[in-house]
Structure 1
Amino acid sequence: MFVRIVKMSFHEKDIPAFLDHFHTMKTHIRNAPGNRLLELYQDKNNPCVFFTYSYWETEQDLENYRNSTLFEGVWTFTKKLFNAKPEAWSVNKLVSLE
């Protein structure tokens, strides 16, 4: 299992549209084959910056999602709202304490 972290920055006026769309799509994204967790975070110091954390069983599962019509619809809508280029990382979780 690995974690995909995506940093996105939006124009302030577009944050409500992003959040509405995310809340509409979140269950579909979470139910994509191989997805085990989906979380959305908002930066405490810059409310225009958001992060998604998603856990995937395999890299192929993420690639399948990224090549799906679901992702195409999510990304086509979301990328119009960006005020900076998004950044993404795929990382292996090494330790988790709960």
Structure 2
Amino acid sequence: MREEAEILGLFSGLRRETLHVWIERGWLAPARGGEGYVFREIDVARLRLIVEFRTDLALEDDALDVVLPLLDQVHGLRRELNRLADAVNAQPQDVRARITAHLSES
């Protein structure tokens, strides 16, 4: 867990006001701490992604309002596909073979 002050130190040029706007927009969801926000490693990774989108790709706020939820959906679908693959792999060989055959027909 990282405190807000540490986060601001990690990202040169990132202002507290900007960080708070991004949180208000729902781009980040850190926990509230005694001295401000507390960031998990997943929050830091997402912040890194947002900074990269804004600096390297020059994406505007309106574009990020679309892109970030789409990325969240992709990650959610990926998790569900992994769960489905685990469930299929847990089945007996004959069931897995029928599933594979069915998928090959599609």
Counting helix residues as a fraction of each chain, which structure ranks higher?
2
Counting strand residues as a fraction of each chain, which structure ranks higher?
1
Higher Cα radius of gyration: 2
TM-score (norm 2): 0.24
